[in-house]
Amino acid sequence: MQFIEMTGKMLLELVSHKEFPPEMLAKAGLTKQSIVRVNRQGDIELRRKSSWDLIGGLLDEFEQRVRAHTGLDWCDPDSPPAPHER
């Protein structure tokens, strides 16, 4: 599965209040310093100490928003880095 990882701060900046109110994200444990990832289906996963927890999902053209806001593209977490990224 492909993801884009970001901080909780970045997620809070790009998420729509209609999709996911900030209070609900905070209740799920999201902070500005959290590490989160979004998959191509829009699922938001929050990094815990030894696992990832699904905490919600994005809607409405989220792919373009995520890519534009982070400057990153989708990648498989198990794939090795490209030679120019090492």
Which residues lie below 8 Å from residue 56, measured CB to CB, with a gap of 6+? 19, 20, 24, 25, 28, 43, 44
Q: What is the pTM of this model?
A: 0.82
Structure tokens, 79 = 């794939």
CB 19 within 8 A of CB 58: yes
Please say whether the beta carbons of 14 and 66 come within 8 A.
yes
Q: What is the DSSP string of 52-85?
A: EEEEEE--SSHHHHHHHHH----B-TTSPPPGGG
Domain count, the chain: 1
Residue 82 lies inside a defined structural domain of this protein:
no
Report pLDDT digits (tens) over 56-80. Answer: 887 778 888 889 889 999 888 777 6
pLDDT for residue 53: 95
Domain that holds residue 57: 3-76
Residue 84 lies in a domain: no
Residue 46: predicted pLDDT? 96
